[in-house]
Amino acid sequence: MTTQRSGMVVKKIGMTTLFSDAGEACPVTFFSLEGCQVIRSVTHDTHGMVQVGSGKAKNVTKPMAGHFLKNDVEARQVLREFRVSSDHVLPAGSAFQADYFAVGHCVDVTGVTIGRGFAGVMKRHNFGGLRASHGVSVSHRSHGSTGHRKDPSKVFKGKKMAGHMGCQRVTVQNLRVMECDVERGLIVVKGNVPGFEGGWVMMRDSVKKKSHPKQPTEGLKVAGSA
């Protein structure tokens, strides 16, 4: 049976470029833990669920305040749930550390892309646009013809046209962990991830590359332990 660990909810700080000893440029993204901890956990026969929260919540509703009080944890701004295997269920109050993910291994990052509003086909789908001359006027950035003639007399569903762009949930897979700073609570990942600076993303072990050797309690401050 494949084991599945819990993920983390981290804040995207920004991007920069690191250079190797050979002078090769490597784009990286920085993430901050912001008090990431387990809020609630549920165990079933074959699997479990772990609810993870991050960020300090300024205002919470009474039902949510009771939820945090029941689990004896601090109120968090963002909550996400992760499906885990039964042997990786973590107790409530366990705090994640930056070394929860090992340097050199791959992770999957899920976030919401930046909203671009209503965009045309050249920006949204990378169309080339119409000709710059020879009869084309005013409609240089339009998409041109979208349908057919009498047969089938309609525009097929999924046709690439102008419309709302961004604000979509996207997962980027197999991003390599470059560095983990436990003292400052920072994780550095190679490549770019969806979302704006200051946005929350979910980070978990890679689905396609099962090579993480860590145990369930490594990289954690388990609740109730010294």
State residue 213's pLDDT score.
66
This prediction's pTM: 0.85
Q: Which of 175, 191, 26, 36 is nearest to 100 (CA)?
A: 36
Domains parsed from the chain with CATH numbers: 8-115+168-221 (2.40.30.10), 117-165 (no CATH)
CA–CA gap between residue 120 and residue 128 (Å, rounded): 11
What was the pLDDT predicted at 215? 67
pLDDT at 212: 65
Q: Which amino acid is at 52?
A: V
- Position 90 scores a pLDDT of 87
pLDDT below 50 — which residues of the chain? none
Separation of alpha carbons 2 and 29, rounded Å: 29
Q: What single DSSP character describes residue 152?
A: B
Distance CA 71, CA 40 (A): 7
For residue range 56-101, list pLDDT tens digits in order.
998 999 999 999 999 999 999 999 999 998 888 888 889 999 999 9
Report the candidate in 139, 194, 188 with the shortest Cα–Cα distance to residue 170. Answer: 194
Report the alpha-carbon distance of residue 201 to residue 211 in Å, rounded.
22
